Amino acid sequence: MGWIKTPLASMSWSTVVGVISTLILQDHPYIHTDDLTLALETVTPYIQAATLKSWWAYDEDQFASSLVDELRRFECDNPSISRQHVDHHTIPRPQLRIWRIIQGIRKHKTSCTNHSVSIQQVREQIVLFGQYAILSHRWQQPTSQELTFDDVFNLSDPSVQAKEGYKKFLAFQENVKADYGCRYIWVDSVCISEPDRVASIPLMFSWYRHAYVCVVYLPSSSITKDPWRTRGWTLQEPLAARRIKYVAGDWTFLKEDPYYSDRTTSSWKFHVLRESRAGALVLDGHLERSWAGTLVASEATGYIPRADQAPGIFHAMSQRETTKPEDMVYCIYAALDVNIPVHYGEGFDTAFYHLQVECLTRGSNRRLLLWQGGTSSPFNSMLAAHFTSFTKDVADYEEKPEKLGLLSPEGVSPGGDYSDQTYLRNYDSSISFDTKGVMRIMLMLYPNTSYQPHVFALISSAGYSCLGVLLAPSRSGVYRRVEYTEISMGKILFGKEPEWP
């Protein structure tokens, strides 16, 4: 327990941030509150890194030296601070006079008469010193070269040390300790035993979300060309991570890192919390602009895992692959926040069907019905058979009531424009499936002489086009999906009551 007693007796990182705040206010008395908050939020990860590498109570000079290094990194990384979440403007970064900060910290410590440790300080230090770094990587080929859960108990074994995975493990450990001071690391092949594999699937997103930093290891030294970007399991990892560092095959900082593509290259680079979480999802190189911009994110937490994110995630998965067929589906369970039993051996078709049913019934996300091309699921013609049927357009369509055409006659002008007086009548947005897999959904059905004997089911709209599917009726009253189609809005009779097909 000796390692934990010393940090708890030291000055907390929030105290250092408080000193910096005081100095900024002295130098910039009229600074806007939002600007000050943003500056402090941006510099905080650097203060935490300095605290992790050394602490005040152990060696004041060592801590001061570490803090100086990190503040220099901050200055190099942040010539300005983008306040995108406030007004889309870039503000000048408040000047941090490093030695004044060091002097201010020493003065604060000297003047502090209360030497007791507060509960808040204890909590801060426990959280900070318990931080772990997590690795995002593609497993070695052959997989026998990857370090396993059982190997951890035999790290001194020459046969274990001869594995390529062992070398990767050591390099990862040294890298995050040098850059971030993290004392703990997490590597999937090492931290998950084979018996726990199924149980770990719904937890993967959370493990990457709560890591202090996610290091992406790219042996090819290229984000755009490395097989890492085509693997199914690596999709959720950068979505979940709050802080990402890309490294090349030799574990050096990867200058191709999209986050820094428009910044001056510097050896001081430190990956801070991104300025705009929503914008950060659109990363040239591995998260394609064609779909990442459709995902929902918040400034505080980043990508939000939930079922209605399915269209964008499905489109992204159309360009990825996994070794086991079912893993194409299982690897995105946590990113969609769905809790579906995992049954290896059920096959991709069954697993993908269950996932679509879950997303439709939980979120009533009708965009999933606008898939194009390919074939239908063998279990229900309204569902797709594969991710490749989900195009960029599907992810872009808005999920709004007025886009469904369920409007009163006085709610739509002859030109097709929506007025402020529109309202829905008798509309039930829920979607359900019976035990035989038959979908129950309320849709607007329109007969059309061009498509007889089929009827057009309106699902959404884009511009002046109505988007939907052609349905073939049967004597039993159950409809079968024929194909996706678009019809000019002028040919649709708005104001028609919704009905159950």
Percent of the chain with pLDDT over 70: 71
SS3 100: helix
Dist. CA 411–CA 494, nearest whole Å: 9
Looking at per-residue pLDDT, the higher value among 273 and 94 belongs to 94
Q: What angle do CA 216, 220, 221 make, to 5 degrees?
A: 65
Percent of the chain with pLDDT over 90: 30
Looking at the fold, whether 114 and 232 belong to one and the same domain comes out as: no
- Residue 178 is assigned to a structural domain of this protein: yes
Ranked by mean pLDDT, the top range of 21-30, 327-336, 427-436, 454-463 is 327-336
Strand partners, 472: 480
- Residue 293 is assigned to a structural domain of this protein: no
Looking at the fold, whether 156 and 279 belong to one and the same domain comes out as: yes
pLDDT in the model for residue 212: 87
Asked which of 180-184, 419-423, 444-448, 492-496 is least confident by mean pLDDT, the reply is 419-423
Q: How many residues does the chain have?
A: 501
Among candidate residues 288, 304, 330, the one with its CA nearest the CA of residue 239: 304
Looking at the fold, whether 362 and 437 belong to one and the same domain comes out as: no
Task: Specify whether the CB–CB gap between 149 and 194 falls below 8 A.
Answer: yes
Looking at the fold, whether 32 and 174 belong to one and the same domain comes out as: no
Dist. CA 12–CA 176, nearest whole Å: 21
- Number of compact structural domains in the chain: 4
Task: Specify whether the CB–CB gap between 198 and 342 falls below 8 A.
Answer: yes
Q: Quick one: CA torsion of 474, 477, 481, 486, rounded to 10 degrees?
A: 100
Question: Which of 88, 112, 128 finishes a domain?
Answer: 128
Q: Quick one: CA torsion of 66, 69, 71, 76, rounded to 10 degrees?
A: -160
Looking at per-residue pLDDT, the higher value among 5 and 489 belongs to 489
Half-sphere exposure of 379 (CA within 13 A, CB side): 21
- Residue 295 is assigned to a structural domain of this protein: no
Q: Which domain holds residue 342?
A: 305-399
pLDDT in the model for residue 483: 92
Looking at the fold, whether 137 and 280 belong to one and the same domain comes out as: yes
pLDDT in the model for residue 397: 59
Q: Is 70 exceeded by the pLDDT of residue 449?
A: no
Looking at per-residue pLDDT, the higher value among 87 and 441 belongs to 441
Tokens 């870039």 correspond to: 90
Q: Each residue of 381-436: pLDDT tens digit?
A: 999 999 999 986 665 655 554 444 443 333 333 333 433 334 355 667 889 999 88
Neighbours of 242 (CB within 10 A): 21
Backbone dihedral region for residue 203 (phi beyond 0: left; psi -120 to 50: alpha; all else: beta): alpha
The amino acid at residue 111 is S
Looking at the fold, whether 226 and 371 belong to one and the same domain comes out as: no
Q: Is 60 exceeded by the pLDDT of residue 185?
A: yes
Looking at the fold, whether 56 and 74 belong to one and the same domain comes out as: yes
